[in-house]
Structure 1
Amino acid sequence: MVINTKLSFAFLLFSLFFLSVTFSLAVANVDPELQLCKSQCRTYHEFSHRQRRECEQKCEDYHGQNHGEGEGEGGGGSRIVLNSNTDPEKQLQQCQKQCERQREQQKEQCRRQCQDTYERQRGEEGKGGGGQSGEKDEQGRQQEQGQEQEQEQGQEQQEQNPYVFQDQHYTASLETNEGRIKILQRFHQRSRLLRGLKNYRFVYLEANPQTFVLPAHLDAEAVVYVASGRGTLSLVSQGKRESFNIKQGDIVRIRAGTTIYMINRDKNKKLRIAKLLQPVALPDEFQPFYGPAGENPQSFYRAFSEELLSSALKVEQDRVQRVIKQQNKGVIVKASEQQIQALSQREESGMFPFPFGSTESKRVFNLLSKEPSISNRYGRLHEADANEFQQLQDMDIAVSYSNITKGSMEGPFFNTRATKIAVVVKGEGYMEMACPHVSQQQQGQGQSTGEQRREQQQQSASPHYQRLSSPLKRGMLFVVPAGHPLIVVAGNNRNLEIVCFDVNAENNRRESLAGDKNIVNALEKEAKELAFSIPAREVDEVFAKQNEWWFFPGPRGGHAYA
């Protein structure tokens, strides 16, 4: 098995290098060839965490050699690699000089990368105890290696949980000085176990205070949740516009092809928005289309021939080109206080076409203003489905928000039909889930085909459940398939807040596995004795003791993850 893994590792590296040559493109803000190489490393499941890191480093090394990064005038592109033996101050100066040779729209990103590299190198110097004796340096290196091994073991254990997504699983990012838009990798690329979510994508937007997000439309249906901050959202369709203020807890349904733009009208806080997308043009693929734009992001108007565009707009070609080539600051830009005030007025131009016959604006639903479905001193649950928010009707999606009191827990429970896509918006904690699928995959490794077949036949009659666990912190995402029992625990320092998009929500039910309304308490005495093979009295002493429901006190003394 080890030999096969090494051969697979070597073969993949060779394949990736071949792909790098085949897909040799001009280096832009995010080099597609390097991005492709790295994404292949991350999705190859036979690799350990260390092997993935080695693979990604090989990608960078090979890319640097082929593009001449950091080598005089020929080293074009937005990514700068410098000699690690040079003094960090000199490296920073060299790096900044190279930035001046970039195109105008790439200079700022280049300078930022230089500064990040410089700060990272200075930090590493401090850890290594630069200037001390060789013996102390060696001790420091050994200590760092030990810490690194412990960290890798934890990360490798986490990598065995295919239902958890972290920063490294975002495969694309549109980033400026004023914010960023992150796109999560396809769910089914993380694991075949998630192929039920093949036609769903997740996007996370973060905009700095008093900024403007450029207008664009998507070839995807979208459900938006405002995780934090305050803004003004504008929608344009059929030549008509509607604007409304948004705040934490708001849910907005945005139909495919609707032009959307927004501002962060807060002076101090970032605007954070989670989006679940359902592509309509190509399965599991979507694209933003920027019209009112320029060089960066590129306006789709520029794809048309100048004479046709001039005729359509009834304006001279040079005037048209001047308008659609000016913008070069990216998708999120700084706005003046006067511009923010003007865009916050929520003016409407005509009546916006609503799909369900209503002439009133029902596009925003605040989840946190709704009475919680479940509430006690250990947490509260807010939920909205198509019955409360009609805009969700044809997407078969529900949205929920759990606020788990610090040191408390939610569950165990499971959904009967819905697959839960959960995003941590605040706090820290950990989760545990019972899963039969990962256990079957692990048990099948190292067995012959005949042994696997016999094992699978036995497992189909008597499944074995694997406990999948993971620490949780803000920005992490995890998936809970239908029927999978789940427990989520908040850390001891602050509440854990999670927003969930439930896919296949119609006719879904929540089933509690502990507490006042758990399924075991509803069984007859004889059913309990037959199922557990012990007297029903002993079953009741275990399952009927907890008087709370849904949210409970957490384990005493906390947990290693918390």
Structure 2
Amino acid sequence: MKFITINLSLPIFLFILVATSCLGTPDEEAELDPELTTCIHQCKHQDKYSRDDKQECTRGCHKYHQMKKQRERQIEEQVRRRKEHEMEQVKEKQRHQGEEEEEEEEEENPFLFDDDDFETRFETEDGRVRVLHRFTKKSNLLRGIHNFRLATLEAEGHTFVSPCHFDSEAVFFVVKGRATIGMVREEKTERFNLEQGDIIRVPSGTPVYLVNRDHNQKLFIAKLHMPLAVPGKFEAFYGPGGRNPESFLTAFSWELLEAALKSPREKLERLFQKQEKGGIFKISKEDVESVSKVKGSGIWPFGGRSSGPFNIFKSPIMSNQYGRLFETNLDDHSQLKDLNLILSFANITNGSMTAPMYATRATNVIMVSDGKGYIEMVCPHVSSTHSYHPFKASLKPGVVFVVPTGHPFIIVASNKNNLQLLRFQLHAQGDNTLTFAGKKNVVKALDKEAKELAFNYPADKVDEIFSRDEDLFLPGPDSYDFEEHARAYA
């Protein structure tokens, strides 16, 4: 920086300091800022100034004005964020104040989410990311899972999903397709190949990218996010990028970027103007092969040693001719243990059903991945008379249904297709699924005396009704008309 020694009287020097507290950027801004005009005028009419001194003084006016404007923008942004936070607190307070009345007045199914309940975060011709609205947007009955968000990623064949990180913990489940995932840890990137049924955790703040390494098949990934920064909200932050996806680096002032990257502004502008393809875009076969090369596993970002993803389809925990159930285990899968999360996948044979059942601790978020079916659930929280209210809904690919803790439900597959369900079991530590039909059921396990008192019926007669050889998955009703139910509760 050039320093200029100037002999000024104290009053004039103080006047210039005051004037430069409200300086501007280009000369034309002077017409819009009287104080900037005054500053520039004083610089140009100082008799003791040389020509270079006057130019240096004028530049000082502009520079200080830039700093002032930048600070004003920062203050405006802080005020905007504070107002948004205050509005959110007011809305949250209003929701809690009227939650009982709202629960009684709800007319639509508060547990069912379909295509209209998803918002598109971004979309290109090669793929899109969609996020389900917050569960509490539909009903306060779901405030126990307010902080969880469900999202989906779809990518066409041979596409690249740009690197980003999230302000949330995330778990990815590959519903369909084959992919390679890259995750940046400190000074290197670890890559893992993914296929249908693979589960992988993406810790908060971990830069991650994906490649659909299949040329023909679309990649479909379900993602469960657990926000850390703002309850119930999460964002993707794109570092490597340009105009689209926009790199968050370009939001910094150029002076700071120049200093951090040791590059002039012109060079940085050229760099950040190159990418305009969006967050998901096609790449060549050669690029797919190059970025899909896996070198093996190493130390995992959240501690311990891991081989990366694990597949849920290794062996079913329950299987018969009416359906199969695959499920993770908290003790065997440390990636999910501290998230208190269990994932399961059910394939219910066409025309079959589950036994009446409920979860003792977990809230089940169920997404239909394939097939069609029907669900019935009973809830005591929506009736002023404290009686049980039945909720019924048809199921098809993309539909999400939430079953809160302790709520009994039955799922039925259509007569034409198997029904495939992905289930996120939230708050799963210590959870157990109890049934009211099948080989192992609550009534069968109840002691004789309590059983007779409860039903006012002989225990052996009760056992005749509740005892059967199948477990969990059962044959569906003979007279069940799926199409009629689907029309009634679509």
Q: TM-score, normalised by structure 1?
A: 0.66
Q: Aligned to 1:437, what secondary structure does the other structure show?
A: coil
Count of aligned pairs between the two proteins: 381
In the aligned structure 2, how far is the partner of 1:252 from the partner of 1:293?
Answer: 24
Structure 1 residue runs of 4+, over 3 Å off? Answer: 350-356
1:382 counterpart (319, 326, 333): 326
The correspondence for 1:365, drawn from 310, 316, 332, is 310
Q: Cα deviation per residue 1:156-202 (whole Å; 9 max; x = unaligned)? A: xx962111100111134311100110011001111000000111111
**Is this contact kept in 2: 1:240–1:351, CA < 8 A?**
no
Write the letter of the residue equivalent to 1:206: E
Q: Could you tell me how far apart the structure 1 residues matched to 2:136 and 2:399 are?
A: 17
Match of 2:195 among 247, 252, 255: 247
Map of 2:261 onto structure 1: 313
2:274 alignment partner in structure 1: 326
Equivalence map 1:367-516=2 (5 Å) = 367-369=312-314, 371-438=315-382, 440=383, 444=384, 455=385, 459=386, 464-516=387-439
Give the Å deviation of 1:279.
0.5
CA change 1:227–1:159 in 2 (3 A) is farther
AA partner of residue 160 (structure 1):
E
Contact 2:203 2:302 in 1 (8 A): no
User: Structure 1 residue 257 and structure 2 residue 201: aligned?
Assistant: no
Distance 2:319 2:398 in 1: 25
Displacement after TM superposition at 1:524 (Å): 2.6
Contact 1:235–1:243 (CA under 8 A) maintained in structure 2: yes
In 1, Cα distance between equivalents of 2:465 and 2:348: 24
Find out whether 1:176 has 2:124 as its counterpart: yes
Residue 548 of structure 1 is matched in structure 2 by 470
The separation in 1 between residues aligned to 2:457 and 2:310, in whole angstroms, is: 49
> Are 1:517 and 2:434 counterparts?
no
SS in 2 for 1:520: helix
1:225 is paired with a residue of what secondary structure?
strand
Please state how far the C-alpha of 1:507 moved relative to its aligned partner. 0.7
How far apart, CA to CA, are the structure 2 residues paired with 1:527 and 1:351?
A: 55
The one-character-per-residue Cα deviations of 1:267-303 (angstroms, maximum 9, x if unpaired) are: 1111000011111111111110001111122110110
Q: Distance in 1 between matches of 2:404 and 2:448?
A: 31
Q: CA RMSD in A?
A: 1.8
Partner of 1:96: none
Q: Distance between the aligned counterparts of 1:171 and 1:196, measured in 2?
A: 22
Structure 2 equivalent of residue 137 of structure 1: none
Asked if structure 1 preserves the Cα contact closer than 8 Å seen for 2:185 and 2:301, the reply is no
Match of 2:228 among 248, 265, 280: 280
CA distance in 2, matches of 1:224, 1:159: 33
| Alpha-carbon distance in 1 for matches of 2:292, 2:303 | 27
Structure 2 CA distance for aligned equivalents of residues 389 and 524 of structure 1: 36
Aligned to 1:53: none
**TM-score normalised over the length of structure 2:** 0.75
Report if the CA contact (8 A) 2:150-2:223 is conserved. Answer: yes
Pairwise CA distance, 1:317 = 1.5
In structure 2, list runs of 5 or more residues that go unmatched: 1-90, 96-105
Matches of 1:385 and 1:320 in 2, distance apart?
Answer: 48
Give the equivalent residue in structure 1 for 2:163: 215
Letter in 2 for 1:399: L
Instruction: Report the alpha carbon displacement of residue 351 of structure 1 after superposing the two structures with TM.
Output: 4.7
1:355 equivalent among 297, 302, 326: 302
Aligned residue type for 1:390 = S
Identity of aligned residues (%): 45
For 1:489 and 1:517, locate their aligned partners in 2 and report how far apart those are by CA, in whole Å: 19
**Per-residue deviation, residues 369-396 of structure 1 (Å, max 9, x unmatched):** 2x21111010011110321211112110
Q: Displacement of 1:352 after TM fit?
A: 4.2
Structure 1 contact 367–383 (Cα < 8 Å) conserved: yes
- Helix, strand or coil: the match of 2:356? strand
The structure whose Rg is larger is 2
Contact 2:120 2:128 in 1 (8 A): no
CA shift for structure 1 position 310: 1.8
1:513: Cα distance to partner?
Answer: 1.1
Q: CA deviation at 1:329?
A: 2.0
